[in-house]
Structure 1
């Protein structure tokens, strides 16, 4: 009986560890995506100048 309970605890711990790793990876991917978007925004500003938003893009000749 004790071995069965230990196996259950080990499975639960493993599941929690996997969940924590997944959350950490999700967070890192979010940061990575944010850095890519910021880089693209910066590159756009360098190429076309600063924009006041979507309306500014539509008013350009």
Structure 2
């Protein structure tokens, strides 16, 4: 669980750095939606992996 949290924080850090290094502010909202869908897909695939493991 701790490993998962550290991986999650690393991923969120890299995505945040990617968002804030992006030069155009008008695209930020689009990128937040993209990040939300990325995390949603990530956790749903993780959940299905855990269910398959069980």
5+ residue gaps, structure 2: 1-23
TM-score when normalising by structure 1: 0.47
Number of residue pairs the alignment of both structures matches: 31
TM-score when normalising by structure 2: 0.53
Across the aligned residues of Structure 1 and Structure 2, the Cα RMSD in angstroms comes to 1.0
Point out which structure has higher relative CO (alpha carbons under 8 A, 6+ apart).
2
5+ residue gaps, structure 1: 1-10, 42-61
Per-residue CA deviations over 1:28-50 (Å, capped at 9, x if unaligned) read 00000000000001xxxxxxxxx
Q: Look at both structures and tell me which one has the larger radius of gyration over its CA atoms.
A: 1
